[in-house]
Structure 1
Amino acid sequence: MDSEDPQNSLQPDVYVEEEVPDPFLIDSDASDDEQEANARIQESDTTIKPISKDTPSTPTDDSEEEAPEIYLPGLVLPTMFLPIPNTDPLTTLLNKYVHPPERRPVRDISGDWQKTNFHTLVMTNSWRALARMARDRLVTTDPEDLALVLALWYLRLTCLSRLRLFNQTSVECTNLFSVLNSVEPREAKIYLFDKLLPFELEVMYVRLRYWAGDHMGYLDALQMLLRKCQIKARRAPKSDPTTSSMWKERGARVSLIIASQLCEMKEFGACTRLLEPLCNQPEPTSSLRSALARVYLQAGYLEKAKAHFAIVEKSSDASEGMKDMNRALMACANGEWETASETLTSLIEKEPDNLMAVNNLSVSLLSQGRLKEGIEVLEGALKASPASVVVAEPFLFNLSTLYELRSATATQKKLNLLLEVAKWSGDGLKTTCLKMPSN
């Protein structure tokens, strides 16, 4: 077990995610966090994420004398943290299905981080080790270095959520904000939340309601956060356009999170009403317009989707890969599976590493009854780039499903897939995508 001190706190019920993911993979600027994590690891668990990572930096005051003194030793107390379990669902599957033990791939779930570096841990999805590293560094950090303390807290909580330890993430995040909300006087608290606290931590605090299963409360909290962004953007001095731009960008990000939640709740009409105004602003991105069109596809409004795709088709900032994917998705929606397969095959020839196109090609082949070809497409991608494929859960779910459709070889094929996933996936995989019961 981890050496961390447990916190005596009630843990909320964890929201149980649906076991069946969307079979189509959608391109996303925020998939996944490896590039941004070198500065600050970010979770992003939403369906639609056409958000630019080039976000404006938080402006700093010209006069250091205006910054209030904030000293929060409570943020580095060991009692703020819970112990991390020393096992995971993937290990449970290996113990159940793979015998003798010598056949099981070696997996390090000890959380030991001292023998490697930060970049390697991120690239190998070693979220357990990163979470322990953040905790170990936090308890030895000077509380006066508040910026570093908050950055380490963000790293810690993000890694816990990537491990799907949502109870633990909720408890520790609640501990953090209990300390932050106790700051006095009011001016110091405002400065802390506006200037020092990473905005992503506020988003994560709101997300606790989602993990508790309170989806309507989650939407309400997101709406309040969006309102805050709008007010801050309006009140920013005209002489400081950076601050206004920063809060506008944050508001756009929150809007997209709300849209993603509405899609998950099948509230497609509300989602499109939220995204349409963003597309009517000056120079909307093609990725945003494509995302809106794909929501219309899910809702069954093909003509509206087609209209937005047509605008993207003429846009100079849209890549050819994006345009090809839009054409393929539109063809799938119209039941033109052969056209979709041809378009995706052409896209893969130009972009062999485009796993989204590979996955969606397998779906279009399955829809034509070409089961063997669909399996070959997915297995080829797995063999060519296993480290990338095994972290794409819809990809693994689709491959497991195709194996089941060929029932004669399903058991052995899925067992081989389990072994391959164990070699490459790292921590935090949602093992239900393998369709192998653990009990």
Structure 2
Amino acid sequence: MEKSNLSYSDNHHEPLSSPPDVYVEPEVPDPFLIDSDASDEEQEINADSGKQEQLSTTTPPRSFSQQNLSRDIPPSPPDESEEEAPEIYLPGLVSPTMFLPIPNTDPLTTLLNKYIHPPERRPVRDVSGEWQKNNFHTLVMTNSWRALAKMARDRLVTTDPEDLVLVLGLWYLRLACLSRLRLFNQTSVECTNLFSVLNSVEPQEARAWLFGRLLPFELEVMYVRLRYWAGDHMGYLDALNALLRKCKLKSRMAPRSDPTTSAMWKERGARVILIIASQLCEMKEFGAATKILEPLCHQSEPTSAFRSALARVYLQSGYMEKASAHFAFVEKSPDASEGMKDMNQALLACANGEWDVASGILTRLIEKEPDNFVAVNNLSVSLLSQGRLKEGIEVLEEALKASPASIVVAEPFLFNLSTLYELRSATATQKKLDLLLEVAKWSGDGLKTTCLKMPSN
């Protein structure tokens, strides 16, 4: 039997896969603090503005006024217009050769073909990727990532290369959908193709303008993530650190007259810090994660959601005193919802081994918020820890019946339900087959089928 420890969740994100053993403690980047004095790094980032390794951009535009000193009356102030955009024409970005064909099958279809007989019992699943008969909103709501990826490609090859804003936006849609399909090798190849074309722009000033003004920040993050998909977790941390350094420099270099730009780079830096912390947690480096997150509590007034998340990282590291302190702060915060406070109390009770207390809190929370499936999932874990296996299964099955479209895309939920079925070995096989059929009806594309605990070979 496979490993049967349950996944205890505090959000709807997919469970993280087990990373390889890490033998070197990662160096924690400096928190996102705005240094008081400029450093030589500013000149370095300007000098190397065309290098992709630094994901760099140009310096802020400067305005020069040319006054006629022979006149008695000073001239009117010059218009503060933006610098003229360089002409950039990149037909390679819309070339069909930039894209690879998307497979017309997926792991879920493989499971159906292996376990569900006769074929007439298998739910009809569209893996053709046809998108013309549906609108964008419908495709997103039904998790039709294959169709969205093909739509982005079809629109790209017919788009005017001069419309770089639209072209780059469609590129991000394409790559994001490929990653949601878990086609990580294909995502890496196409993303590398994209940045090869972008890095070929000449002269250097035009390339710096392209990376500084037009390239979406999300594409920079995507390019950095290629190292994660390649299994280079330490290299991924290094690349994220470089991206964080860029955010710090760009925020510092923003003109005082343009606080919006500075705030934008600060916000981006905070997002990078959260990505770094998430990666450190995946590597079980909880101490390093809290070290990089804790300073954010002192730079500005943190939200209750952030403090709750930080407290949960402390719980995973076993630092109960710190976790309790942050939970206590949230308990007194007026912007924290009652549901958040109840969930925090339940998690703290579970960490202390008070499973009956946690079950009572979560049961009352679900009565107030029937659609809180995170609470449902965690209640099943607390019931199992008390030996109440049957009740745990019933709680999950009721939630699945009430809202299948929401449940079947929550992989921790499916993993826990599959594990509970295995613990009731007498009915495990049939129950898991029924669950597979239900998932196939509602899940759409991109489900990590290992959460069903059904081998495909």
TM, length-normalised to structure 1: 0.88
Partner of 1:352: 370
Select between 88-97 and 186-195 the one with higher mean Cα deviation.
Answer: 186-195
- % identical equivalent positions: 83
Query: Residues 98, 46 of structure 1: CA spacing in aligned structure 2 closer, same or farther, 3 A cutoff?
Result: closer
Structure 1 residue matching 2:196: 3-state secondary structure: helix
Q: 1:33-432 maps to which residues of 2 (within 5 A)?
A: 63=81, 66-432=84-450
1:176, 1:127 → 2: CA distance? 20
2:202, 2:451 → 1: CA distance? 47
Q: Which runs of 4+ in 1 moved over 4 A?
A: 18-22, 44-47
**Structure 2 unaligned residues grouped into runs of 5+:** 19-59, 62-79
2:7, 2:357 → 1: CA distance? 18
Query: Residues 102, 390 of structure 1: CA spacing in aligned structure 2 closer, same or farther, 3 A cutoff?
Result: same
Contact (CA 8 Å) 1:127, 1:428: kept in 2 or not? Answer: yes
Contact (CA 8 Å) 2:94, 2:157: kept in 1 or not? Answer: yes
Shift of 1:203: 0.4
2:168, 2:150 → 1: CA distance? 15
Partner amino acid for 1:26?
D
2:139, 2:323 → 1: CA distance? 40
Partner amino acid for 1:392?
A
Shift of 1:110: 0.3
Backbone CA RMSD of aligned residues: 1.9
Partner of 2:9: 25
Shift of 1:314: 0.8
2:105, 2:160 → 1: CA distance? 32
Shift of 1:325: 0.8
Shift of 1:46: 10
Contact (CA 8 Å) 1:19, 1:432: kept in 2 or not? Answer: no
State which structure, 1 or 2, has the greater radius of gyration over its C-alpha atoms.
2
Contact (CA 8 Å) 1:46, 1:261: kept in 2 or not? Answer: no
Query: Residues 345, 372 of structure 1: CA spacing in aligned structure 2 closer, same or farther, 3 A cutoff?
Result: same
**Structure 1 unaligned residues grouped into runs of 5+:** 1-17, 33-43, 48-59
Partner amino acid for 1:25?
S
TM, length-normalised to structure 2: 0.84
Contact (CA 8 Å) 1:128, 1:160: kept in 2 or not? Answer: yes
Query: Residues 318, 46 of structure 1: CA spacing in aligned structure 2 closer, same or farther, 3 A cutoff?
Result: farther
1:192, 1:46 → 2: CA distance? 35
Partner amino acid for 1:105?
P
Task: Render the CA deviation track for 1:244-291: whole Å, top value 9, x for unaligned.
Answer: 010000000000000000000011111110000001122111111111
1:125, 1:149 → 2: CA distance? 23
Structure 2 residue matching 1:70: 3-state secondary structure: coil
Structure 2 residue matching 1:66: 3-state secondary structure: coil
Partner of 2:32: none
Partner amino acid for 1:90?
L
Partner amino acid for 2:202?
E
Partner of 2:74: none
